[in-house]
Structure 1
Amino acid sequence: QSQVDTDKPIGTTGYCMGGPIVFRTAAAVPDRVGAAATFHGGGLVSDGEDSPHLLIPKMKADFLIAIAENDDQRDPEAKSVLKESFAEANLDAEIEVYPAGHGWCPPDTRVHNPEQAEKAWSRMLALFESALA
């Protein structure tokens, strides 16, 4: 749309399986994506050649990765791989396990946690303010 200032970076978000899409977008157009957030993102780290975390060296965005505690319990090494990958790429990334179940952000889920959803949203807004200013 004509109202979009394409000279400024954008922010992008993804929930659950939208997490890998955020990674792919940030890697595909690194000069446009300045900030990215995933909430209870699924499949961000795998042993496959197409694992989203392998795209981190192609990115320029600052990240928020909000992990559900039950996702962390299922794959406790994923957060360490992400932290190491972002550090190696010299990118800022806030990676935190939230004391909430997978799907805690949307208000229409059985596991919605209003307090933790507000915290995640506030962290995303702070990221966008600092990275997209």
Structure 2
Amino acid sequence: MPIKTLQIPTADGQADAFAAFPDRGGQHPGVLMYADGFGIRPVLREMAQELAGHGYYVLVPNLFYRHGPAPVIELPEYIGEEARPAVFAQLMPLIEAHTAERALNDADAYLRYLSAQPEVGAGPVAVTGYCFGGLLATRTAAAHPGEVAALAAFHGPVGADGPDSLARITADIHFGHAESDLTPAALSELNQALDAAGVRYTSEIYPGTIHGFTMSDTDAFDPAAFQRHWDRLIPLLDRTLANHR
């Protein structure tokens, strides 16, 4: 799948980004993919290309573009337990600076840019995200209910903004939670909020997983859960965006 490097105009400047899309020409449904807190790196390119291979145009912005182009911080090839403290010491200020206001302004710019690409067909889009990006994906779906038809988030703090935010979502949803991130009681509370919102959803704990289970360059990676994530994500997109191919 081809990868194109892009610059997205935003209220605060230019966000560097990349897109992966099928090489057979034509137009495809758009997917906005939010990276995890570690940001754009080879594993995100591989994941975007995998998704593009199923017939989607996948846009992946650098969440922390205000602090410089990706990679904003230098990452080891493998993010293991020993590397985490130093990495998080650099990452946390960036995450804390990425306020809800900034996230929503950026979401406006990302969706506007995505829908304007010549390879993207008319109609609704999907948003997906990992870790911190799962929260950003959820915020995007809540702020753009008429535009986002599908929302998927994996090991992300998706309930952080409370039930009122979830109530604004109209997209079909899949939330895949790490077992270490969410107790059964917290899952029940989250799912009650989704019930109250009246949306079509699945929201489940992936057994035996820890936070970050989709990322193959970290010690949290779980191959079975990673496959399960594709088994949930791709049918969700196919169901909600099939009429816009």
Indicate the TM-score class for this superposition, using the shorter chain for normalisation.
Answer: 0.7 to 0.9
- Pick one of 142, 145, 148 that aligns with 1:27: 142
Identical residues among aligned pairs (%):
35
Separation (CA, whole Å) in 1 of partners of 2:170 and 2:236 = 14
Partner of 2:234: 125
- Pick one of 102, 122, 125 that aligns with 1:10: 125
Aligned with 1:94: secondary structure?
Answer: strand
Q: Which amino acid aligns with 2:164?
A: L
Q: How big is the shift at 1:121?
A: 1.4
Partner of 1:82: 190
Partner of 1:64: 174
Q: Which amino acid aligns with 1:72?
A: L
Q: Which amino acid aligns with 1:45?
A: G
> Looking at both structures, which has the greater relative contact order when contacts are Cα pairs under 8 Å and sequence separation is at least 6?
1
Partner of 1:110: 219
TM-score by length of structure 1 reads: 0.86
Separation (CA, whole Å) in 2 of partners of 1:109 and 1:26 = 28
Could you tell me whether the CA contact under 8 Å between 1:34 and 1:60 is conserved in 2? yes
Name stretches of at least 5 consecutive residues in structure 2 with no aligned partner.
1-116
Could you tell me whether the CA contact under 8 Å between 2:145 and 2:171 is conserved in 1? yes
Q: Which amino acid aligns with 2:181?
A: D
Separation (CA, whole Å) in 2 of partners of 1:122 and 1:31 = 26
Partner of 1:39: 154
How many residues are aligned here?
A: 125
Question: Once superposed, which parts of structure 1, at least 4 consecutive aligned residues long, lie more than 4 Å away?
Answer: none
Q: How big is the shift at 1:81?
A: 2.1
Could you tell me whether the CA contact under 8 Å between 2:178 and 2:205 is conserved in 1? yes
Could you tell me whether the CA contact under 8 Å between 1:30 and 1:59 is conserved in 2? yes
TM-score by length of structure 2 reads: 0.48
Aligned with 2:170: secondary structure?
Answer: coil
Separation (CA, whole Å) in 1 of partners of 2:181 and 2:204 = 12
Which has the higher Rg, Structure 1 or Structure 2? 2
Name stretches of at least 5 consecutive residues in structure 1 with no aligned partner.
none
Q: How big is the shift at 1:52?
A: 4.8
Could you tell me whether the CA contact under 8 Å between 1:37 and 1:63 is conserved in 2? yes
Could you tell me whether the CA contact under 8 Å between 1:45 and 1:78 is conserved in 2? no
